Amino acid sequence: MTQQNKIRICVAGATGWAASALCKAIIKTPDIELVAAISRSNAGKNLSEVLSLDTEKNIPIFATVEEALQVPSDVFFEYTSPVIAKHHILSALRAQRQVIVGTSGLTDEDYASIEAAAHDSGRGVLAVGNFAISVVLLNRFAEMAARYMPHWEIIDYASDKKVDSPSGSTLELVSRLAKVGQPITTIPIQDTKGYPETRGAAINHTQVHSVRLPGYIVSLEAIFGMESEKLILRHEAGSSAEPYVNGALLAIRKVQLVKGFRRGLDSVMD
């Protein structure tokens, strides 16, 4: 493969836990080239040195998206925080980049603005709450279950250090289930005796319960119930970021074909 055929990528949040694992994998991937990065705490440095990448190439780290987008690239990979993610994404679309969103915590309103911007720019955005194949399968199975089991709730587990609640994976699952239908709640939440808040938060009519405690990394549990039976679908993440790498590489290759806005890795899978 020639240098010209490589997919050039800029990674925002490149020194973070998941993004750094992705950067290390990109260096070993012949059809993708890492050309720029964003990390305010490491601005002005060489990403190759900061992450001890297996390359002598100088990969500049910038403090802002405006600086990073001065470097020619094809794909912008957003992996920072919900505080700045929307600004990054809209800036990348204005600069005619294809965009992948790995940041969690963006709201439906944020995504509505992003979808409109993607259509206006003629570019594509692929928003993925979780790149792990196990989560992709959980989403698919949950959509199937919701068609036959009309009662469901979601439990979202994460470390006590996770600032957003619920997780991006949970929001993506809720969005998918909402397209299937609304779950049945036998007793309306407002009629709960005692403390209705303990029944969780209703997001698109699905009750979501978020647990934030030391010892958890990221877990997601969708529970479906019917009379005398229940189905539990659970994703459990380990301490390594490796499960997210293959899905992220797939997203980088597939986003080239996306126009407008798509949500979920499976939306671009064969």
pLDDT at 28: 95
pLDDT at 237: 86
Cα Rg of the chain (Å, integer): 20
Angle at 138 between CA 132 and CA 141, to 5 degrees: 145
Fold equal for 3-131+240-268 and 133-236: no
Tokens linked to 79: 């992996």
Instruction: For 2-34, write each residue's pLDDT tens digit.
Output: 456 899 999 999 999 999 999 999 999 999 999
- Closest by CA to 243, choosing from 129, 131, 104, 101, is 131
pLDDT digit of tens for each residue in the chain (270 aa)? 445 689 999 999 999 999 999 999 999 999 999 999 999 999 999 999 999 999 999 999 999 999 999 999 999 999 999 999 999 999 999 999 999 999 988 988 999 999 999 999 999 999 998 899 899 999 999 999 999 999 999 999 999 999 889 998 999 999 999 999 999 999 999 999 999 999 999 999 999 999 999 999 889 999 999 999 999 999 998 888 888 999 999 999 999 999 999 998 989 986
| CA–CA dist 171, 156 (Å, integer) | 10
> Phi, psi at residue 213, to the nearest 5°?
-145, 150
pLDDT at 4: 62
Instruction: For 199-214, write each residue's pLDDT tens digit.
Output: 999 999 999 999 999 9
* Fold classified for 133-236: Dihydrodipicolinate Reductase; domain 2 (3.30.360)
pLDDT at 2: 45
Q: Kindly list the domain boundaries of the chain, sorted by start residue.
A: 3-131+240-268, 133-236
Span 3-131+240-268 CATH architecture = 3-Layer(aba) Sandwich (3.40)
Instruction: For 27-39, write each residue's pLDDT tens digit.
Output: 999 999 999 999 9
- CA distances to 218, 219, 243 from 159, in Å: 7, 10, 18
pLDDT at 242: 85
pLDDT at 130: 87
